[in-house]
């Protein structure tokens, strides 16, 4: 069955009319979410009983359950769910029928598994010649590591990110929240949209191959900048000052990050010293002198220690907000380190409506979560429906496929 686009020439949402089938996995979930919240019809294909990602902690109120995974709720709002056993002939036929009616398939299965099922990209082209398939896997579809499995920690390590993540006096530390998979989901969405735009002109689909490892490597770009600009290899710095006057410092109720060091920030040094002098900071005279303008001295351990011994106690006696506003008045780069609670209550975040909520029938309550970091004036982002129950839309979606004309049903079911 040839594919025809369903996108309206004058949509009310950016991707209205775009149809996507997503094989449930952590690898492809964020890509599917980005499409769903921009108006695409994203159909989540789960195995009977629901996807394994429904059972990932943490859970709402700490109580485990298939509809209570906070991660699942966030990554799958806006989607519809059907259940198909892709390891059976019946489930494979149903998947082909879905693929024949969509623009894009997103999957994160082990390389080769979709081929074993007869659902690889070349197989699906038989029933959807202009289809696009995006595969998100730990190491891509080819190469000596392609069949290796991975979780977030492995992906961060193999992509090099752990080299710069954590504290210098201990082992590397993984950043929270499966960031490698989320990064890969973002790149998968971008790659998929590029393929869709190209297909709109050529009429021909293509396979988009996304390696999570390579997406992590892309997050290391400022490592190159460090070496290019300063001739130094970035290392883990944690709470230590990367430069004299640049780092995290504890204060009342949290931390602040100050940046009056480095190649481009030394122009703030004099104003910082004046601030400390006005506040009668103990030892401020130790930060005076021409030698503080010399890069060779500022890069020494003596300089970093001296700054910490003066600014550290000064910051420790004040709140993050007091330090922030005082620094702002003097145009000194200093910022509080916000906690999750700080972000949610931030008046700027609230004013722009970044935190959104949806009523979840499965939980019988409102669930709040982050929205989109962009605003489209004509075709806005929207959270349209809560994360679905497993198979919630079987009758609605699979029933419609069953009503296809007999010839079309044979084509999509048998892939002929």
What would the pLDDT profile of 271-289 be if each residue is shown by its tens digit?
999 999 999 999 999 999 8
The pLDDT, as a whole number, for residue 10 is: 60
Domain parsing of the chain, residue ranges: 19-219+352-414, 246-337
For 48, the enclosing helix (H) or strand (E) is none
| 68/54 Cα distance (integer angstroms) | 8
Residue 134 Cα to chain centre, angstroms: 17
The domains spanning 19-219+352-414 and 246-337 adopt the same CATH topology? no
DSSP state of 250: E
239's CB contacts (< 8 A; 6+ apart) are 167, 247, 248
CATH architecture of the domain with range 246-337: 2-Layer Sandwich (3.30)
What would the pLDDT profile of 125-166 be if each residue is shown by its tens digit?
998 999 999 999 999 999 999 999 999 999 999 998 888 887
Q: How many CA atoms lie within 13 A of 152 on its CB side?
A: 14
Question: What is the pTM for the complete model shown?
Answer: 0.86
Q: Residue 375 pLDDT more than 80?
A: yes
pLDDT band of residue 323 (cuts 50, 70, 90) is: very high
Mean pLDDT to the nearest integer, 255-283: 87
Query: In the CATH scheme, what is the code of domain 19-219+352-414?
Result: 3.40.50.10540
pLDDT band of residue 240 (cuts 50, 70, 90) is: low
The Cβ of residue 256 has, within 10 Å, a number of other Cβ atoms equal to 23
Q: Residue 299 pLDDT more than 90?
A: no
Residue 116 tokens read as 């074993």
DSSP state of 172: B
Q: Residue 411 pLDDT more than 80?
A: no
The pLDDT, as a whole number, for residue 35 is: 98
> DSSP of 358-379, one letter per residue?
EEETTTTEEEEEE--S---SSS
């Amino acid at each position: 069955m040839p594919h025809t686009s369903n996108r309206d020439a004058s949509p009310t949402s950016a991707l209205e009319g775009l149809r996507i089938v997503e094989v449930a996995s952590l690898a492809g979930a964020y890509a599917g979410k980005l499409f769903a919240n921009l108006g695409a019809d994203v159909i989540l294909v789960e195995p009977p009983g629901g996807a394994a990602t429904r059972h990932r902690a943490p859970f709402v109120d700490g109580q485990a359950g298939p509809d209570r995974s906070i991660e699942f709720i966030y990554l799958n709002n806006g989607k519809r769910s059907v259940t198909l056993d892709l390891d059976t002939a019946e489930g494979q036929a149903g998947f082909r029928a879905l693929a024949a009616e969509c623009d894009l398939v997103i999957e994160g299965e082990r390389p080769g598994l979709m081929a074993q099922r007869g659902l690889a990209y070349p197989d699906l082209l038989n029933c959807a010649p202009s289809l696009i398939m995006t595969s998100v896997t730990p190491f891509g579809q080819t190469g000596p590591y392609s069949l290796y499995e991975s979780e977030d920690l492995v992906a961060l390590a193999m992509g090099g990110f752990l080299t710069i993540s954590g504290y210098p006096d201990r082992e590397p530390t993984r950043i929270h929240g499966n960031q490698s998979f989320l990064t890969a989901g973002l790149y998968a969405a971008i790659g998929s949209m590029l393929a869709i735009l190209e297909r709109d002109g050529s009429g021909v689909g293509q396979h988009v191959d996304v390696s999570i490892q390579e997406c992590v490597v892309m997050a290391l770009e400022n490592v190159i900048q460090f070496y290019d600009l300063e001739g130094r290899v970035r290392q883990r710095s944690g709470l230590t000052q990367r430069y004299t006057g640049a780092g995290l410092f504890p204060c009342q109720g949290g931390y602040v990050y100050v940046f009056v060091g480095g190649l481009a920030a030394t122009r703030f040094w004099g104003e910082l010293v004046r601030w400390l002098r006005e506040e009668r900071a103990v030892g401020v005279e130790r930060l005076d002198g021409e030698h503080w303008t010399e890069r060779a001295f500022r890069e020494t351990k003596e300089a970093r220690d001296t700054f910490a011994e003066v600014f550290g106690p000064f910051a420790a006696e004040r709140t993050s907000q007091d330090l922030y506003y005082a620094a702002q008045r003097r145009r000194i780069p200093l910022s509080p380190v916000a906690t999750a609670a700080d972000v949610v209550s931030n008046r700027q975040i609230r004013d722009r409506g970044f935190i959104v909520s949806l009523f979840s029938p499965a939980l019988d309550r409102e669930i709040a979560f982050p929205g989109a970091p962009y605003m489209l004036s004509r075709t806005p982002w929207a959270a349209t429906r809560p994360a679905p129950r497993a198979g919630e839309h079987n009758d609605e979606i699979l029933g419609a496929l069953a009503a296809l004309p007999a010839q079309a049903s044979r084509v999509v079911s048998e892939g002929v």
